[in-house]
Amino acid sequence: MDDLESLRVALAKDPSQDTIDQGRHRLMNATRHSAPARRRWLAVGALALGASAAAVITMLTTAAPLPAPTQAQPSVSRPVQLTGRQILLAAADTAEQAADEPGKYWHVVIEHDGPARTAKGKPDGPWRAEWWYRRADGHLFGGTGDGKAMDNPLSKNYWVLDQSFTYQQLQDLPTDPEALKELALKGMRDGLKGEEPRIGEDGYIALSMHYLLYDVPISPEVRAGVLRALASLPIVSNVGEVNGGDGVRVDIDGAAFTLVVDKETGLLRSIVNGPDSVIEISTAEWTDELPEVVQPPAENE
């Protein structure tokens, strides 16, 4: 099964062909040069934030002379350990004020530089994935190994939260955290056809909503709402400094991963699954440029 498949493919017992096709579009078969991306437990990253307590020096004076005065010792400024919730809420407040200047294409590049090894019989070494969404209609192009953009004739609209959205629908997503969580659960219920997710509702929300922080273009206000929705989940906590920032740990059914969010934009910066498994989102931005477009090879090639 191809890289970056729809979350429903991972959770549903019998995903539909439409779901598989939609999930496949990130790194289509025809690219062939990209190594498989392990999407088993992707995570939503956390913001590099630190707060300091103010140093307060109290001077005591008296009219009568003291025989052997001792010098007052200033208190030492110590960083305040934020909770995972506080980190995400701080990121939301900043992201809400970010400028939004749409271009023609939403461009994403993710990279994994881990050592080569075998996972479940398949190589799991370094890989790189790249794609462009055309803003006008959500049409998708996947990056090839030689720097071109491969057309995906089957793509249409933007696929996230196990649902299809037009660009305008993405901009009109609710900003209220509870409404966003309910929208994610709607996709879950439709995709699993009434079955309960094996990772629980909070786990499903965390896994499905993190794609909104890099995979598709949303407004700063919606991005802030996504961060606040994630902050409301009891499965997030702070693990301290990770990858140059404060990491937000997400615990799902015995597994855990760490999310790192850009504090200026609220975009996901990296997903840490372990010391040797870090997925970097090196690009998630608008562009007006698209490389040379090529068509996918015929299926019998």
Residue 145 belongs to a domain: yes
pLDDT of residue 221: 94
Closest CA to 273 of 5, 115, 40: 40
Residue 63 belongs to a domain: no
Residue 201 belongs to a domain: yes
CB atoms within 10 A of CB 102: 13
With 90 as the cut, is the pLDDT of residue 175 above it? Answer: yes
Residue 153 belongs to a domain: yes
| Mean pLDDT along residues 33-50 | 27
Residue 73 has phi, psi (to 5 degrees) of: -95, 125
Could you tell me the two tokens for 222? 């919606």
Q: Residue 215's domain spans which residues?
A: 7-51+79-294
pLDDT of residue 280: 93
Note the pLDDT tens digit of each residue in 220-263. Answer: 999 999 999 999 999 999 877 776 567 788 998 778 888 988 77
Residue 66 belongs to a domain: no
Note the pLDDT tens digit of each residue in 107-129. Answer: 999 998 876 655 555 556 788 99
Residue 301 belongs to a domain: no
How many whole angstroms separate alpha carbon 60 and alpha carbon 265?
A: 46
Residue 72 belongs to a domain: no
Residue 73 belongs to a domain: no
SS3 280: strand
Per the structure, how many domains does the chain have? 1
